[in-house]
Structure 1
Amino acid sequence: MRDAGGGVDGDKIGKSEKDQSWIPKIIKKRVCTTFVEDSFSNGALCQCGGEREAHGSVALGDYFSTAIVNRWDSAQHSSEYPTDAFGELQFAGASKRHSYFLRLSWDTPPSMVYTLMTAHWGLPSPNLVVSIVGGEGRTKVKTWVREVLRQGLVKASQSTGAWILTAGLREGVGRCVGEAVRDHATASSSVSPNKVVALGIAPWGLVYNREQLVNPQGSFPAKYYVKNMSRDSCCLDNNYQAFLLVDDGSVGRRGETGFRAKLEDYISHQRTGIWGERRGR
């Protein structure tokens, strides 16, 4: 059973836990396995963004080969392991609605992820995908942009049954979209079911307090706490129904290495409706 915001009802947590126990067997995370020294850190940091102490002995072992490496590369210098962050997410101090989340490697097949979201998370297949890029960080979003998002984008998307894709963070445009979806859901919940799915696709290594999401058995739910919900930050936004946290083994970097574009392309080639139209973007 779902609430007006599209989340999962607390009564179904047990069933969800059982249904998702297979996820770590096929979904992977990324871990840096080769320490490539960041020359500007005096040896304290790897080019992946992680501290030397955070790297295992294997990553630190081969000093000769890493000494001649000029640039850290996820494909060459990180390895896959079973994901350890997935399930449902509850925001402390927010509504009781749970959001879905998944930590996944950047090279996970988009077909697999789409099936997981629709068949196992129960997100309705979109008739339209609205992808919003840019406007990240602490730069203030202009008033007219906020109004476009609030009055136009969500209203149009609601009538078509859309997914709105942003980074899903409480900063910049992502925060504006979350607020717009929240306000629209509140206004329309008494009249009709909410048809808008806000999906956040963010870099795992950038998410604030991501350690709270880690549980190799899955979290049903994970309790997510943030220091100050009113300040722009790299915290996940509680107005999103689902989060894909794309992992390339790096820490503190923006961007998610092309996975989002591949997912959007995959969705655009799926068919929808009685006439089999393709979904647009």
Structure 2
Amino acid sequence: MPLTSASLRAHAAVPMMNPMGEADVDRAIAALALAPGARVVETGCGAGEVLLRVLEAHPGATGLGVDPDADALDRMRVAAARRVPGREPEVVQAAADAAGLEAGGFDLVVNVAASHAHGGFPDALAELAALARPDGGVVLLGEAYWTRAPSPEFLEALGGATADELPLGLDALQDAARAAGLEALAVAACTEADFAAYEEGLAAEAERYDDAEAVAYAGRIRERRALPGGASTLGFALLTLRRGP
């Protein structure tokens, strides 16, 4: 479902459409070794905040953002014209599997909080690896994981999620990446404080609107976080991964 209405409006109040702290994201981006002319694609890019930060930090790179949500892409176009004038990323409004992306054609593949664009964990890992250049292309992956086995109540509060949708523990996430042919170069885990700031920011912004959808959106966040372990069962990490030969 596109990030329209309540979710998209709520995300206007937070720096990115993921819970990682800005310093962690910027540090990972700054550490990327992108040569002049590097091709960067972000799948499930939403409003493209991570892609734009990559282009700002690496002026020789070119960008492509792929997402089916027209409203989110419009936001990226406006931001890109202001932040990287003359270097705006190409935008493709499509699902990732319908965007005609070139296998092995990208120096950097970005997918942060958007593995659903490739069918979700763990299938997304192999698809992301396949887009990266085979001789050392890099994947910047942001993915959620369980910090503990989720309770039935927590899964229900997530909208009927199942425990097998995510790996149990950060080590399991790295193991899955390795199985897809991706070597971890750097790993940063989201802090509980950053996760709380993100979700509480979304809820507070949604509550500014008086329509039923926004109120329900905020309520779901607050009710889930109030459950036993509701503020600590879900983790998130940003992994810099290199595709092996």
Q: Fold conserved (TM > 0.5)?
A: no
- Normalised TM-score (structure 2): 0.30
